Structure 1
């Protein structure tokens, strides 16, 4: 999913920021894209979310976190509704190692040494390989 949105208030933790980002991308792009693909293909499709923060996965699966009970008020994000989507819809959330997280290239300032790997995760060739035969 490729949605970008400025958060409405400061997040107090990485988990909080990840949950808010997940909610926005899920409701603004993921679910509408699922509906579109189901219409086009004439069959059910599965939305697979790959998350590199294990605490975020636990919070989403539980549908509640005492430490994040404020996000409904501060960010307008309902953990229960996110949990319900993953329980009832054809949506899956699973862990992916940070080194294999393709989305990081869009959200983080990567060190130069990690840039080539990030491009390869997206199926792109690093600039130094452009126009050359693959090794």
Structure 2
């Protein structure tokens, strides 16, 4: 849940990326406790170039001063090599199947990418 009001899509993506960074840091900590050190940065995919710019360039964004300071730690995580922000095309966002109303073609494409088979392809194994 986001505790701040975003004024643009980029800010929404930025806050979401900050939340994902917090989860990545926690998971890295848990894995380290189990003796599974993660030497490489955790990739964090984002389909919004403005949000990626806000993370990577602290000087560029005076109009985002109102974003809660608690979300600014994402920049430190990037600089310390804990995460690696990467652009990911909107067309490839698998999460869209869970968060948006989609045309049938797009829904079927994402379902296939997730490895979910349509009921019709299961034959007699599943009663429809």
Question: TM-score if structure 2 supplies the norm length?
Answer: 0.78
Q: Are 1:131 and 2:109 an aligned pair?
A: no
User: How far did residue 105 of structure 1 move?
Assistant: 2.6
Q: Which residue does the alignment assign to 1:60? A: 55
Q: Are 1:78 and 2:78 an aligned pair?
A: no
* SS of equivalent residue, structure 1 residue 48: strand
* SS of equivalent residue, structure 2 residue 45: strand
- Contact 1:63–1:82 (8 Å) recurs in 2: no
User: After superposition, what is the alpha-carbon deviation per residue over 1:86-126, rounded to whole angstroms, capped at 9, x for unaligned?
Assistant: 110331111111111222233333233211222233x3224
Which range is displaced more, 107-116 or 37-46? 37-46
- Contact 1:52–1:96 (8 Å) recurs in 2: yes
Q: CA RMSD in A?
A: 2.2
Query: How many angstroms apart in 1 are the aligned matches of 2:79 and 2:45?
Result: 16
Bigger Rg over Cα: 2
User: After superposition, what is the alpha-carbon deviation per residue over 1:67-96, rounded to whole angstroms, capped at 9, x for unaligned?
Assistant: 211012xxx5433x2111011033111111
User: After superposition, what is the alpha-carbon deviation per residue over 1:40-84, rounded to whole angstroms, capped at 9, x for unaligned?
Assistant: 353324311111000111100113521211012xxx5433x2111
Counterpart selection for 2:30 from 28, 36, 45? 36
Q: Which residue does the alignment assign to 2:5? A: 10
How many residue pairs get aligned? The number is: 121
User: How far did residue 16 of structure 1 move?
Assistant: 0.7
Higher relative contact order (CA 8 A, sep 6+): 2
* SS of equivalent residue, structure 1 residue 131: helix
Structure 1 spans left out of the alignment, 5+ residues: none
